[in-house]
């Protein structure tokens, strides 16, 4: 049952194969068990229109998609998702757990495609009326390890290892710029230890919110 107060917005970020989905599922269950109302969602996607954009940006069929078009599509999906799902849930008092958000665009498009992190960030801020997460959890993993955990790669996953190295470094740079709003964790550690570290921080933040 949602509370009367504003909710809390948590984004999970990180490279491919970092185990975000597993950790999101564990955090969702732990928060529900503790009595917090939770909405779990993902980007790109989360609404019918945004899921169609997801198909375009991830499909290997569109190999060579123009980088600016790619950045605009991710931002468009995000605008739709925030307007219809994320912001309404926060306003109704839910804890929103989102698989990837704005920093994925800054890392994959801004740094990875060399479009400029500021431009890409501004684009997403415009698309979302400036909605930023209360907390972003970065699961850090070496691309060699992360990519080896995947089966069939999508269009982004199929990029060369150097691209994924750039993305990894980008997430660490972004987190270092605003340490109070980020929790960076080694995604190579045991699943349960990682889940415990995440829950500890989230419960502290929720108690203070």
Residues 93-132 that bind ligand TYD (CB under 6 A): 99-100, 104-105, 108-109
Q: For residues 20 and 36, which CB has a smaller minimum distance to ligand TYD in the complex?
A: 20
Please state, in angstroms and rounded to a whole number, the distance separating the CA atoms of residues 151 and 160. Answer: 16
Q: How many CB atoms lie within 10 A of CB 197?
A: 16
Tokens of 49: 């229109």
Using the structure block, give the residue that is written with the tokens 């009367």: 4
The CA-atom distances, in angstroms, between 73 and each of 43, 70, 209 are: 12, 5, 33
Rg (CA), the chain: 16
Residues 159-198 that bind ligand TYD (CB under 6 A): none
Among 30, 49, 56, 58, binds ligand TYD (CB under 6 A): 58
Is residue 80 part of the contact set for ligand TYD (CB under 6 A)?
no
Minimum gap (Å) between residue 74 Cβ and ligand TYD: 4
Among 7, 44, 79, 117, binds ligand TYD (CB under 6 A): 44
Minimum gap (Å) between residue 208 Cβ and ligand TYD: 28
Using the structure block, give the residue that is written with the tokens 């605003």: 178
Among 38, 156, 187, 195, binds ligand TYD (CB under 6 A): 156
Minimum gap (Å) between residue 36 Cβ and ligand TYD: 23
Minimum gap (Å) between residue 21 Cβ and ligand TYD: 6
Q: For residues 25 and 204, which CB has a smaller minimum distance to ligand TYD in the complex?
A: 25
DSSP string, 98-145: EES-HHHIIIIIIITTTS-HHHHHHHHHHHTTS---SEEEEEE--HHH
* Strand-strand pairing, 8-14 and 38-42: unpaired
In what side-by-side order are the strands of the sheet with 95-99?
Answer: 38-42, 95-99, 8-14, 135-140, 182-186
Position with the least CB separation from ligand TYD: 108
Distance of CA 185 to the CA centre of its chain: 14
Instruction: Kindly indicate which of the ranges 85-93, 135-143, 151-159, 183-191 contains the residues binding ligand TYD, using the contact rule CB under 6 A.
Output: 151-159
Is residue 74 part of the contact set for ligand TYD (CB under 6 A)?
yes
Q: For residues 140 and 157, which CB has a smaller minimum distance to ligand TYD in the complex?
A: 157
Chain positions contacting ligand TYD, by CB under 6 A: 16, 20, 43-44, 58, 74, 99-100, 104-105, 108-109, 154, 156-157
């Amino acid at each position: 049952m949602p509370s009367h107060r504003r909710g809390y917005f948590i984004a999970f970020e990180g490279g491919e194969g970092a185990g975000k989905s597993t950790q999101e599922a564990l955090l969702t269950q732990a928060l529900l068990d503790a009595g917090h109302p939770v909405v779990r969602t993902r980007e790109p996607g989360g609404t019918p229109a945004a899921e169609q954009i997801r198909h375009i940006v991830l499909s290997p069929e569109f190999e060579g998609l123009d980088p600016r078009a790619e950045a605009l599509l991710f931002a468009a999906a995000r605008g739709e998702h925030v307007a219809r799902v994320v912001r309404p849930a926060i306003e109704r008092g839910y804890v929103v757990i989102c698989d990837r958000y704005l920093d994925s665009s800054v890392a994959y498009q801004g740094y990875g495609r060399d479009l400029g992190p500021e431009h890409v960030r501004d684009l997403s801020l415009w698309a979302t009326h400036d909605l930023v997460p209360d907390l972003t959890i970065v699961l850090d993993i070496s691309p060699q390890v992360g990519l080896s955990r995947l089966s069939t790669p999508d269009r982004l996953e199929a990029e060369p290892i150097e691209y994924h190295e750039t993305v990894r470094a980008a997430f660490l740079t972004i987190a270092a710029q605003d340490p109070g709003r980020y929790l960076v964790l080694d995604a190579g550690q045991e699943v349960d230890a990682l889940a415990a570290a995440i829950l500890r921080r989230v419960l502290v933040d929720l108690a203070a919110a």
